[in-house]
Amino acid sequence: MTSITIIVIVVVAILTAVIFGFAWLGYASCLKAFKLEVSQGKHDDEIRKEYININKRKQVIVKVICYTMTFILLCVLIGLFITGLSYKASGESLTINNKTVLVIKSGSMSEYYDEDISEKYKDLGYDSRLQFSVGDICICEKVSPEEALTLGEVYGYKHKNIIIVHRLIGTYTNNTGEVFYIFRGDNNPGKDQILVPANNIIYHYTGNRLQVIGSFILYAQSYLGIWSLVCLVGIIIGSDIVLHKIQKLSKQRAEEIRGAIND
């Protein structure tokens, strides 16, 4: 972790604490004002409609729906947050049931660069169904250095801590007999400027993918995404606490109104 990354994390943490602090002061101020207005009877008409002159069954159904939707939203946001952090911490790959999940960040394999490449690849028998777009989740298998590779297949190789998923288009043997592999993104104007040794090729794309969903993971692993998800979860939880307190005050006032009516 670089010093710049640490500084960014500290600054974001401080900003988040400040924002939550001001938000909670705002919540506390609203609650205080509401409590005063309730004690003065300014919300009695609304309270009668909501807690006295209301179908109890309908009230229960509405509450169940609201709580369920809130719970589902929180689960989605927290799950996305955890997935984004896990993906970032694991070197931008996740292993599930012996399959590796990669989220695509570039459009280098989204289509053919031009018709000539399309025809050339078609003549070579390269499958265009192995293409994918930004935000797709690609399912890959692990590749061992001893495994035989197939021209036209799509593999993921590591270069400077980045995983590049491109099509294998050739090989190169140097003077010492060492074999290197040549890759190209279908949508790139030329081959990759990297001769890749077998040890650096770690994934084989199976052809299975989930479209678009990966965009959410890419967002969730960014600093802006992490910050916004934390803020959203905090706002939802804070709003739920405030709503619960408002409901408690309203119920207390409803009991006072019922008592006055009975007397």
Q: What would the pLDDT profile of 167-187 be if each residue is shown by its tens digit?
A: 999 999 999 889 999 999 999
Tell me the pLDDT band of 108, cut-offs 50, 70 and 90: very high
- Tell me: do 213 and 228 sit in the same domain: no
Going from the C-alpha of 149 to that of each of 169, 182, 195, 197, 253, the distances in angstroms are 11, 12, 15, 12, 75
Task: Indicate if the pLDDT at residue 253 is higher than 90.
Answer: no
- Tell me: do 81 and 7 sit in the same domain: yes
| Whether 98 contacts 118, CB under 8 Å | no
Specify the DSSP class assigned to residue 52: I
DSSP string, 60-126: HHHHHHHHHHHHHHHHHHHHHHHHHHHHHHTTS-EEETTEEEEE----TTSS-SSHHHHHHHHHHT-
In the chain, alpha helices (H)? 3-39, 44-47, 56-89, 115-124, 214-221, 223-262
Amino acid at 260: A
Domain, as residue range, for 46: 3-89+222-262
For the stretch 186-189, contacts whose Cβ atoms lie closer than 8 Å and that sit 24 or more positions apart, written own/partner, are 186/108, 186/109, 186/110, 186/111, 186/112, 186/113, 186/117, 186/121, 186/128, 186/131, 187/107, 187/108, 187/109, 187/110, 187/111, 187/112, 187/113, 188/108, 188/113, 189/113
Strand partners, 45: none
- Tell me: do 131 and 210 sit in the same domain: yes
- Tell me: do 62 and 134 sit in the same domain: no
| Whether 157 contacts 201, CB under 8 Å | yes
- Residue carrying the six token digits 């500290």: 10
Average pLDDT (206-212) is 86
- Tell me: do 137 and 207 sit in the same domain: yes
- Tell me: do 123 and 207 sit in the same domain: yes
Tell me the pLDDT band of 261, cut-offs 50, 70 and 90: low
Domain count, the chain: 2
Going from the C-alpha of 242 to that of each of 1, 40, 237, the distances in angstroms are 38, 20, 9
Minimum mean pLDDT range among 58-62, 77-81, 240-244, 256-260: 58-62
- Tell me: do 236 and 145 sit in the same domain: no
Give the number of other Cβ atoms within 10 Å of residue 140's Cβ. Answer: 24
| Predicted local confidence at residue 25, as pLDDT | 85
CA–CA gap between residue 251 and residue 258 (Å, rounded): 10
- Tell me: do 134 and 45 sit in the same domain: no
Contacts of 178 (CB under 8 A, 6+ apart): 197
- Tell me: do 76 and 101 sit in the same domain: no
- Tell me: do 190 and 241 sit in the same domain: no
- Tell me: do 105 and 204 sit in the same domain: yes
Would you give the distance in Å from CA 92 to the centre of its chain?
Answer: 12
Strand partners, 84: none
- Tell me: do 80 and 98 sit in the same domain: no
Minimum mean pLDDT range among 23-37, 40-54, 144-158: 40-54
| Whether 174 contacts 126, CB under 8 Å | no
Q: What is the CATH number of the domain that holds 151?
A: 2.10.109.10
Give the number of other Cβ atoms within 10 Å of residue 238's Cβ. Answer: 15
| Predicted local confidence at residue 191, as pLDDT | 93
- Residue carrying the six token digits 């197939």: 150
